[in-house]
Amino acid sequence: MSTPPSTPDETTLRFIELTKIGEGRFKATNRRGGVLPIGSGDDPDFSPVELLLAALAGCSAIDVDLITGKRVAATSFDVRAEGHKIRDDEGTRMVDLRVTVDIDWPEGADCDRARSMLPGALRQVRDRICTVTRTVQVATPVTYDGTDGTDGADG
């Protein structure tokens, strides 16, 4: 039985505000006051593509940790997200996205249970519970609007 879709409202809305802070540099601010610098890739700041990879890795890591951490806390937990930025007839985009999880747990029965849960946790993250991964996989359309009434469809 499938879950009915939720209705978009104030409880489902997520947003950030982006402000220019320099040449090729912006500051993203979330509703909780968190701030993250974003750069063009010519400075130490994360580029938008790196933030996409960080979002994939972060969402996956949080979900996997919630599932496997119910058994035992990890002694180390590292995630690598990677992909290739290409340009083709469809424009500039990322392909061959891959998230690799490397987790160690303390020895013992709880470790064995956590380790045995990892393949299922990764499937759940990929197929159902990681919002970032699911959004990328189902190719959600993006709408662009200008505050002056223009939109990206006007060319």
In a domain, 150, yes or no: no
Q: How many CB atoms lie within 10 A of CB 20?
A: 9
Question: What confidence tier does 153 reach under pLDDT thresholds 50, 70, 90?
Answer: low
What dihedral do alpha carbons 143, 139, 127, 93 form, nearest 10°? -110
What gap in Å lies between CA 50 and CA 43, rounded to an integer? 13
| Residue-number span of the structural domain to which 123 is assigned | 47-140
Residue 151 resides in a domain: no
Distance CA 79, CA 50 (A): 14
**Is the pLDDT at 4 greater than 80, yes or no?**
no
Whether residues 28 and 81 fall in one domain: no
Give buried/exposed letters for 90-129 (b at 16+ CB in 10 A, else e).
eeeeeeeeebebebebeeeeebeebeebeeebbeebeeeb
Cα–Cα dist 51/40, whole Å: 11
Give per-residue pLDDT as tens, 84-142: 999 999 999 999 999 999 999 999 888 899 999 999 999 999 999 999 999 999 988 88
**Lookup result for tokens 């990322």:** 94
Same domain, 99 and 124: yes
Whether pLDDT at 79 is above 90:
yes
pLDDT at 155: 46
Rg (CA), the chain: 19
Q: Establish if 18 belongs to a structural domain.
A: yes
Number of structural domains the chain divides into: 2
Decide: helix, strand or coil at residue 2: coil
The rounded distance, in Å, linking the Cα atoms of 149 and 143 is 13
**Is the pLDDT score of 1 beyond 80?**
no
Helix axis angle for 109-124 and 48-68, nearest 10°, is: 130
Residue 146 to residue 155: CA distance in whole angstroms: 12
Kindly report the pTM of this predicted structure. Answer: 0.87
Residue 84: inside a domain: yes
The answer to whether residues 70 and 110 belong to one domain is yes
- 48-72 pLDDT, tens digit per residue, is 999 999 999 999 999 999 999 988 9
**Are 55 and 102 part of one and the same domain?**
yes
Which of residues 149 and 25 earns the better pLDDT score?
25
For residue 154, pLDDT beyond 50: no
Over range 33-62, report the average pLDDT. Answer: 96
* Residue 36 covered by a domain: yes
